[in-house]
Amino acid sequence: MLKEEFLLDTPDKCLLIQPEDWHQMHSFSEDAILMVLASEFFDAADYIYDPYHD
């Protein structure tokens, strides 16, 4: 498994994540904005809610 970390520390940076990529997001500043664009509505049955451990 390949693990990469990206620091998005300015407003002109973004990261496009593919549906098959596992991702965790953390360490947001108080004024951060997280924008998510999706092609379908959220369906909780599509997700596994067990904690992921490195």
- Domain housing 23: 1-54
Q: How confident is the model at residue 48 (pLDDT cuts 50, 70, 90)?
A: confident
pLDDT, mean of residues 1-27: 87
Task: Examine the pLDDT at 45 and tell me if it is beyond 80.
Answer: yes
Q: Average per-residue pLDDT in the chain?
A: 86
- State the residue for tokens 């959220």: 42
* pLDDT surpasses 80 at 53: no
The proportion of the chain whose per-residue pLDDT surpasses 70, expressed as a percent, equals 96
Dihedral over Cα of 29, 18, 16, 44: its sign: negative
**What total of structural domains would you count in the chain?**
1
